[in-house]
Amino acid sequence: MEVLKRLKVDDRTKTIPVVILTSFKEERGLLNSYNRGANSYIQKPVDFSQFREM
C-alpha cells in the first residue's frame, strides 16, 4: 500500500496502471487498494488468463 500511495502522489508515476496481486482475503484490503488508486485487485490463487487481461 505504501508503494501504491507513493506512485499515485508523484506526477511522474501517477498514471501508471497498478494491479494488486495478493493473498489478503479481507474486504478492507480491496477497498483500501481502490481508494488509493489501484486499477485492479486480484486475489490468489490466480487465474493467469484473468491476470493477463488486467
Q: What is the pLDDT of residue 15?
A: 97
CA distances from 36 to 13, 25, 31, 42, 47 (A): 14, 18, 9, 15, 24
What ranges in the chain are assigned the alpha helix state H?
Answer: 2-9, 27-35, 48-53
Give this prediction's pTM.
Answer: 0.73
Tens digit of pLDDT at every position of the chain (54 positions): 999 999 999 999 999 999 998 988 888 989 999 999 999 998 888 878 877 776
Spatial neighbors of 14 by CB under 8 A, at least 6 apart, are 7, 8, 37
- How many Cβ atoms are within 10 Å of 20's Cβ, its own excluded? 20
Q: How many structural domains is the chain composed of?
A: 1
Residue 7 is part of which domain span?
A: 2-53
CATH code for the domain of 43: 3.40.50.2300
